[in-house]
């Protein structure tokens, strides 16, 4: 079987002018949680051929990118065939170029109307996602072999855990709620959000990156299962999987409390999804760093020199640890669908890739069914709430003129797996 070497992207972060999405609406708010708006992003919508050419020139043979639901269905039950044709053009260009397209149906951003309808805490989202999946896959024909239904289905659970940790540090009971910790500007933001999405007073805008309840987590799982069934009913040859964000969870001491914390965190991040993914064709593992637990909780990284631009630890060894841990319970094909580092200094990225690639090769030699590695990201782009300040890309983009400048890491990674 072919080993796929690729890079990953997400539509909202690179395409530009995703005007019907929930994040676009939030970016325009006066009291926005986003540092800056995405605007034209890096104009991948119009420059996708140039970007795919860069992958091919560097020796890659795969590209993982997302189809934007908000473009396909800008209004409820109104599907845009013109936008579908755009994605078919991208897919066809990949295939013509010898680049295997790996499609993600949902990568964080959603149609604005979906949030008005209750978003990712509403049962109705299951049926909406099913219909969206049906429209897309019915138009794909045989052009795609691999589909990831949902990117990082566990992200809302991870965010809820982070918020709970912060509230406890502030001396606030997480069970009481977050409202006690809100300042005036944040309360104004909530009021503005209600207005933007047409919500009732006090009603939350449940985007995919909102902190997730257990009920909302179950809805996301059911969306994946429903989409998988739809895909297989239309084209049984398409391989389907889910991606999860996974930390390398380590013990900082030998205490009972630390061991319990690690076990609980691994169950939340991975184990409780096993029943939903056991019938999948592959699993998408995504990792960026580790978390070290002691009896007191997650250990803080004291040395600033060891941090990435995102503020978490630069620890490339985490990927090998995580994938080996996944394989203890999931024996199917594994793709590393995201892994990378936020660093303006590309020398750091090359060093990161060196460690990661060696780890992947060791696992393959040991018989683990790793079928591909996708680096995050193909190019510097819009890193959600942090705007364009985080540099994850293998390619630099001058946003004044949208000119692409490949970094040494692009070619280094292309050669590393040869």
DSSP-derived secondary structure letter, 313: B
> pTM of the full predicted structure?
0.96
Handedness of CA 37, 40, 43, 46 (dihedral sign): positive
Residues 6+ apart with CB under 8 A from 368: 323, 324, 327, 334
pLDDT in tens, 181-240: 556 667 788 899 999 999 999 899 999 999 999 999 999 999 999 999 999 999 999 999
Q: Decide: residue 96, CB within 10 A, 0-12 exposed, 13-18 middle, 19+ buried.
A: exposed
Q: Could you list the pLDDT tens digit for every one of the 418 residues in the chain?
A: 799 999 999 999 999 999 999 999 999 999 999 999 999 999 999 999 999 999 999 999 999 999 999 999 999 999 999 999 999 999 999 999 999 999 999 999 999 999 999 999 999 999 999 999 999 999 999 999 999 999 999 999 998 887 776 666 666 666 555 555 556 667 788 899 999 999 999 899 999 999 999 999 999 999 999 999 999 999 999 999 999 999 999 999 999 999 999 999 999 999 999 999 999 999 999 999 999 999 999 999 988 889 999 999 999 999 999 999 999 999 999 999 999 999 999 999 999 999 999 999 999 999 999 999 999 999 999 999 999 999 999 999 999 999 999 999 999 999 999 8
* Long-range interactions of 396-403: CB distance < 8 A, separation 24+: 397/42, 399/40, 399/42, 402/40, 402/42, 402/43, 402/47
**Dist. CA 167–CA 180, nearest whole Å:** 9
What per-residue confidence (pLDDT) applies to 189?
A: 86
Residue 356 near residue 322 (C-beta atoms within 8 A): no
Handedness of CA 23, 26, 32, 38 (dihedral sign): positive
Residues 6+ apart with CB under 8 A from 263: none
- Could you tell me which of 53, 77, 80 has the C-alpha nearest to residue 68? 80
Owning domain of residue 165: 4-416
Total domains present in the chain? 1
Residue 163 belongs to domain with CATH number: 3.20.20.80
What per-residue confidence (pLDDT) applies to 160?
A: 85
What per-residue confidence (pLDDT) applies to 414?
A: 97
What per-residue confidence (pLDDT) applies to 173?
A: 64
Hey, what are 42's tokens? 């890096």
Residue 119 near residue 210 (C-beta atoms within 8 A): yes
What per-residue confidence (pLDDT) applies to 175?
A: 57
Which stretches of 141-293 are DSSP H helices?
Answer: 155-169, 184-197, 214-234, 256-269, 274-277
């Amino acid at each position: 079987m072919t080993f796929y070497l690729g890079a990953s992207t997400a539509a909202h972060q690179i395409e530009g002018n995703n005007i019907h999405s929930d994040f676009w609406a939030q970016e325009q708010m006066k009291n926005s949680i986003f540092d800056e708006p995405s605007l034209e992003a890096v104009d991948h919508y119009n420059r996708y051929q140039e970007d795919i050419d860069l992958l091919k020139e560097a020796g890659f043979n795969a590209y993982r990118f997302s189809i934007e639901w908000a473009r396909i269905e800008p209004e409820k039950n109104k599907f845009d065939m013109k936008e579908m044709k755009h994605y078919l053009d991208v897919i066809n260009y990949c295939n013509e170029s010898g680049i295997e397209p790996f499609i993600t149906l949902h990568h964080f951003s959603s149609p604005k109307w979906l949030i008005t309808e209750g978003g990712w805490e509403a049962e109705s989202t299951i049926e909406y996602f099913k219909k969206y999946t049906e429209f897309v896959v019915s138009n794909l024909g045989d052009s795609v072999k691999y589909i990831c239904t949902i990117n990082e289905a566990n992200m809302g659970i991870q965010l809820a855990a982070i918020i709970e940790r912060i509230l406890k540090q502030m001396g606030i009971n997480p069970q009481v709620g977050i409202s006690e910790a809100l300042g005036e500007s944040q309360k104004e933001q909530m009021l503005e959000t209600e207005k933007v999405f047409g919500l009732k007073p006090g009603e939350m805008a449940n985007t995919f990156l909102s902190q997730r309840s257990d009920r909302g987590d179950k809805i996301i799982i059911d969306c994946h299962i429903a989409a998988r069934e739809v895909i297989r009913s239309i084209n049984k040859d398409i391989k389907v999987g889910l991606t999860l964000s996974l930390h390398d969870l380590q013990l900082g001491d030998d205490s009972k409390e630390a061991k319990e914390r690690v076990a609980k965190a691994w169950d939340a991040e991975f184990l409780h999804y096993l029943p939903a993914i056991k019938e999948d064709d592959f699993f998408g593992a995504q990792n960026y760093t580790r978390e070290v637990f002691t009896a007191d909780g997650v250990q803080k990284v004291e040395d600033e020199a060891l941090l990435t631009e995102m503020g978490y630890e630069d620890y490339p060894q985490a990927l090998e640890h995580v994938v080996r841990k996944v394989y203890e319970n999931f024996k199917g094909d594994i793709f590393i669908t995201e892994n990378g580092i936020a660093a303006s200094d590309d020398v750091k990225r090359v060093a990161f890739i060196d460690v990661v690639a060696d780890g992947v090769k060791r696992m393959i030699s040991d018989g683990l069914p790793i079928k591909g590695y996708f680096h995050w990201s193909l190019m510097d782009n819009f890193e959600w709430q942090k705007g364009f300040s985080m540099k994850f890309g293998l390619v630099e983009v001058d946003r004044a003129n949208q000119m692409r400048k490949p970094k040494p890491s692009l070619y280094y990674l292309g050669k590393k797996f040869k």
